[in-house]
Structure 1
Amino acid sequence: MFNWKLKDVIMVCIFSVVFSFIYLWGVYFANFLATVLAPFGFAPYAYEIVFGIWFMASTFVPYIIQRSGVAVVAEVLSAVIEVIMGNMFGPIVILSGIIQGMGPELVFAKGKYRDFSMKNMCLAALFACIFSFVWGYVRGGFSKFTPMYLLGMFVVRAISSVLFAGVLSKVLAEKLAKTGALSSYSLGQEEIDE
């Protein structure tokens, strides 16, 4: 599979399991927020607030593995496990995972899987946001919203994406690398050398 080693496959599987739990928690938290925001007419914004959480596997895992295909595979595998655990949206989440992973994959591929600067991580998160928003528009009936309401949804999703999948993913991966747990990866060696 691409130029992956066995350790890469294992690492992607481990983190996909971790993120599937985080993703499922995000679904239930978004539902709670939707209930709170519904009386004000902003229930759809609840999902936008946490949307960046659902992109984290597609930025965090590639930053560690630094190989082609990791963003899509990690996102899809996380989605599959999340569905098995009981995501109420069902198997359509797997297709969403493919789409959400494609944005970061393109950004990382452009940098030949070597540019994981904060700027590029945030750009990858933003691409996940754009790809997912277009998919949401096609599948989710966004056309019923006014242009300003839609713009607001996109801005909130973009901010969530950059914060969670961009900034937080980078910070968490680097903190994990400092523990020595990633010493067999470039990121782990860089953090130990510093």
Structure 2
Amino acid sequence: MSTTEQSTTAVAAPRPGTLRASGRLTAWRTVDLLTVTFLGAAFGIAYWAWGLLYVAPSEALTAIFPPLAAIVAAPWFVAGVVGGLVVRRPGAAFLCEVVAALVSMIPGTKWGFSTLLAGIFQGIGAELAFLLLGYGAFGLGAAILAGALSAPIEAIYEWFTYWADWTMGWKVAYLAILTVAGGIIAGGLGWVVTKALAAAGALGAFPAGQEVREKSAV
């Protein structure tokens, strides 16, 4: 085995029950790029729709305790989680989240260009989660971590853009709630969506689909 192969195996050794991307992790295939783009576009449409629907629950939570509004922001983290779980290559989580943000801007949002900035910040966090796991774990725990880490940079950005008049206590509470909600809502939903796509046979070219086939063969 060459030095390069040893290095790749050490960094990306999969956890029991999971499969990593085939070949070199950085060797993106055409199907990888197309799938991330498609997933990002689909989530972008969903993000735009959620931007129309979230107002009522957001106002209700804000009336109870303003930082609770973080709960309804968590669904905007799902694309990064799913992109990372499906493609399992460096950059997949980040790219999927950014594409989703871009597509959600096309019909028009009240946040304008900050929508793209949010996608970048959230995508960086999701990508960091898979990086910390060496791109070798893709179960529910990895999904929760990716959803949770999508929150911190975004929360701090919002401190200065949307919540500048809040006390530091409220800002910290918002960050904590957004992180927990990101892990539970975005992480959990992202994991469910990935499993559902794999079970439906839509991920046959990816490790998630192979995992389903192997379980069925047992």
If the length of structure 1 is used for normalisation, what is the TM-score?
Answer: 0.88
In structure 1, the residue matched to 2:15 is: none
The answer to whether the 8 Å contact 1:56/1:169 transfers is: yes
The answer to whether the 8 Å contact 2:94/2:120 transfers is: yes
The one of 158, 172, 189 equivalent to 2:193 is 172
Structure 1, unpaired ranges of 5+: none
In structure 1, the residue matched to 2:5 is: none
In structure 1, the residue matched to 2:12 is: none
Displacement of 1:36 in angstroms is: 4.1
The structure in which a higher percent of residues are helix is 1
**Structure 1 residues 122 and 35: alpha-carbon distance in aligned structure 2, compared to 1, 3 A threshold:** closer
1:105-148, CA deviations, whole angstroms, 9 ceiling, x for partnerless residues? 111122232211222221121111112111212332x3422344
Matched residues in 2 for 1:126 and 1:74: separation? 16
Matched residues in 2 for 1:167 and 1:34: separation? 20
The answer to whether the 8 Å contact 1:34/1:42 transfers is: no
In structure 2, the residue matched to 1:4 is: 28
Matched residues in 1 for 2:65 and 2:85: separation? 34
The answer to whether the 8 Å contact 1:76/1:97 transfers is: yes
In structure 2, the residue matched to 1:45 is: 68
1:91 equivalent to 2:113? Answer yes
In structure 2, the residue matched to 1:27 is: 51
The answer to whether the 8 Å contact 2:67/2:173 transfers is: no
In structure 2, the residue matched to 1:123 is: 145
Structure 2, unpaired ranges of 5+: 1-25
Displacement of 1:91 in angstroms is: 1.4
The one of 112, 127, 144 equivalent to 2:165 is 144
Q: Tell me the amino acid that sits aligned with residue 176 of structure 1.
A: L
Matched residues in 1 for 2:104 and 2:115: separation? 8
Q: Tell me the amino acid that sits aligned with residue 74 of structure 1.
A: C
Matched residues in 1 for 2:66 and 2:129: separation? 31
* Bigger CA radius of gyration: 2
- Count of aligned positions: 190
1:18-71, CA deviations, whole angstroms, 9 ceiling, x for partnerless residues? 101221122122222244456x3656633x122111110111111000011111
1:85-116, CA deviations, whole angstroms, 9 ceiling, x for partnerless residues? 21121111111111110011111122232211
Matched residues in 2 for 1:6 and 1:154: separation? 37
